[in-house]
Copies of this chain bind each other. A is one copy, B any other.
């Protein structure tokens, strides 16, 4: 039940972009990779997916890099992770294309749980925006730290 590093690194990367292109500056892979301590070659490949989906836009050449493709409050976690992860469902049999795999799709009791888990996860993902992730939460009593 684990996310791949693509999902993990990719989310960290887009958060990094959101935080570091505040003045319209492009954020380069090398910057992200040093800040996030992730292999730059690997990051390239991961960010390519974000690019392809339109979640980020790019500029080549000197001072190039990436910026968000949309307003951070219009990007939610489901958008991001479904691009990064090959599939986001808990089991194969949740995928309509492989529904024959199960011995008895329609009566299978286990299926009820997969549905519930999927719903719960999707609910979190769709209701959490990129803005939610980057905004500072001011909580009382935390000044001490």
Contacts and interface: CB of A to CB of B under 8 A. Distances in A.
A92 B8 CA distance: 10
Interface in A114-140: 114, 116-117, 120-121, 123-125, 128, 133-134
State which size class the interface on A falls in. Answer: 35 or more
Contact of A133 (B3, B37, B113): B113
A53 interface: no
A61 to B, nearest CB: 28
A8 B110 contact: yes
Interface of A: 1-3, 7-8, 11-12, 15, 19, 35-37, 77, 81, 85, 87-93, 103, 108-110, 112-114, 116-117, 120-121, 123-125, 128, 133-134
A110 to B, nearest CB: 5
Nearest to A106: B145
Given A8-B91, A85-B1, A87-B1, A117 B121 contact: yes
